[in-house]
Chains A and B, each alone.
Chain A
């Protein structure tokens, strides 16, 4: 996989795609920080001061950095996310089938 990307792209292009994927995970973590503060989730060893201010600012920062991506980079990022959807669906389907097969054997 590394080889394929390194062979086909220049540093600037691959670094751009990498930055985009990074910012998607940063946004997710900033939003998760808010969500996980509600009851029923594992407790934190410490909670940041100033309430929601830091996670909200972090979300804004990552989203505005994503805004700096070129159209091509955004398209590449969207394709990567779409590939993720396909993988997820295939995997769930696969597990469902395996589960059914196992259930048949049990009978």
Chain B
């Protein structure tokens, strides 16, 4: 794996489903400051990413933060961190699945409540579980399909939005309370999650020392640019609407009509589905790592190994 492969992987991890959902809560808290917020958070995440790069270079096994914390602070802290890591995977997956239901609700309002939501959420989760039992791998072709499937609609959205934007459509910068800024910062941590995958696989990199650091920096620059532009177009086109389950599709509808909304809607579905398949694979790896270090009940190890299911 070279520098460009690692960067592509990182971008894929960060720009999953979150960006299609997060603009609304961010705008609700900090309004037009949103794009600036993404840039500040991008720089903050770079500091954390650099720590991952140095510490990751000490280990060759998979496991990431769990292994690092275990080596540094012992079994108990290590287990707690690993448990949180598994929790991150499972909960972001769940957030994205409920995001898929929200995306479908743009066309079928029942999809985001009651039985409609239960039906969609269950069938998607079970479908992904089934796909894993058939032993799918993330083939290079599939990764390219998902990458184009999400980046193309986002680019259309950004270009169209920037072309139609003028100073009148951009709401003035609101006064932001420290509380709102903190709440936005907290949500931004969700938006940027995923870059930590790069140092975890640095054992597979050709030139770990150089490539991992540059790949982390390149990933964070690219995703910061994309996400802050998306947020900029969103705040300029949404006309102050901050309550939305499908913020980007609504915004695209205002900019480009129903065709635009459809492009973004389909792009968001492809992206969220792809992110979900990828992260459920990673979650099952986590249980693997637990079992290898004898930190899970004895039954989990053979179970995880035998079926490799995203538990």
Contact present for A25 and B65 (CB under 8 Å): yes
The number of chain A residues touching the other chain, given as a range, is 35 or more
Please indicate the chain A residues that have their CB under 8 angstroms from the CB of B125 in the complex.
Answer: 2-3, 6
A80 at the interface (CB under 8 A from B): yes
Question: Given known contacts A1-B90, A15-B187, is B121 in contact with A7 (CB within 8 Å)?
Answer: yes
* A19-B121 contact, Cβ under 8 Å, with A2-B90, A29-B51, A36-B71: no
Q: Which of B78-86, B141-149, B219-227 contacts A (4 or more CB under 8 A)?
A: B78-86
Is B298 close to A, CB under 8 A?
yes
Contact partners of A23 in chain B: CB under 8 A? 186, 189
Give the distance to chain B from A24, nearest Cβ to Cβ, in Å.
5
Q: Is A35 within 8 A of B72, CB to CB?
A: yes
Task: Mark contacts of A64-105 with chain B using CB atoms, 8 A cut-off: 1 yes-contact digit, 0 otherwise.
Answer: 111111100100000011011101101100110010000000
Chain B 140-191 residues near chain A, CB threshold 8 A: 181-190
How many angstroms from the CA of A77 to the CA of B188 in the assembled complex? 17
Indicate if the CB atoms of A68 and B48 lie closer than 8 Å.
Answer: no
Does A88 contact B79, Cβ atoms closer than 8 Å?
yes
Alpha-carbon distance A65/B193, docked complex (angstroms): 13
Query: In the complex, A23→B208 CA distance in Å?
Result: 25
Q: Known contacts being A19-B193, A87-B83, is A64 close to B185, with CB within 8 Å?
A: yes
Question: How far is A24 from B208 in the complex, measured between Cα atoms in Å?
Answer: 26
Question: For residue B193, which residues in chain A have a CB less than 8 angstroms away from its CB?
Answer: 18-19, 22
**B254-281 interface code vs A (CB 8 A; 1 in, 0 out):** 0000000000000000000000000010
Q: Are A3 and B84 in contact (CB under 8 A)?
A: no
Distance of A30 Cα from B30 Cα, bound (Å): 28
Shortest distance between the CB of B226 and any CB in chain A (Å): 19
Q: Which of B69, B94, B122, B209 contacts A45 (CB 8 A)?
A: B209
Q: Does A51 reach chain B (CB closer than 8 Å)?
A: no
Residue of A4, A22, A42, A70 with most chain B CB atoms under a 10 A cut-off: A22
Known contacts A29-B68, A42-B59; is-contact A5 B186 (Cβ 8 Å): no
Contact partners of B311 in chain A: CB under 8 A = 1
Closest chain-B Cβ to A18's Cβ sits at a distance in Å of 4
Q: Which of B4-12, B228-236, B289-297 contacts A (4 or more CB under 8 A)?
A: B289-297
- Residues of B at the A interface (CB closer than 8 Å) are 18, 21-22, 25, 44, 47-48, 50-55, 57-59, 65, 68-69, 71-73, 76-77, 79-81, 83-85, 87-88, 90-95, 97-99, 101-102, 117-118, 121-122, 125-126, 181-190, 193, 196, 208-209, 213, 245, 280, 294-298, 310-311
Given contacts A43-B58, A84-B80, 20 further A-B contacts (CB under 8 A): A5-B90, A7-B121, A10-B98, A11-B98, A11-B102, A11-B245, A14-B94, A16-B186, A21-B85, A22-B84, A25-B196, A28-B65, A30-B47, A33-B55, A46-B57, A65-B188, A68-B181, A88-B295, A91-B296, A91-B297
Give the 6 A-B CB pairs with smallest separation, nearest first: A68-B182, A68-B186, A5-B94, A45-B57, A32-B72, A18-B91
By a beta-carbon cutoff of 8 Å, the part of chain A in contact with chain B is 1-7, 9-12, 14-26, 28-33, 35-36, 41-48, 54-55, 57-58, 61-62, 64-70, 73, 80-81, 83-85, 87-88, 90-91, 94-95, 98
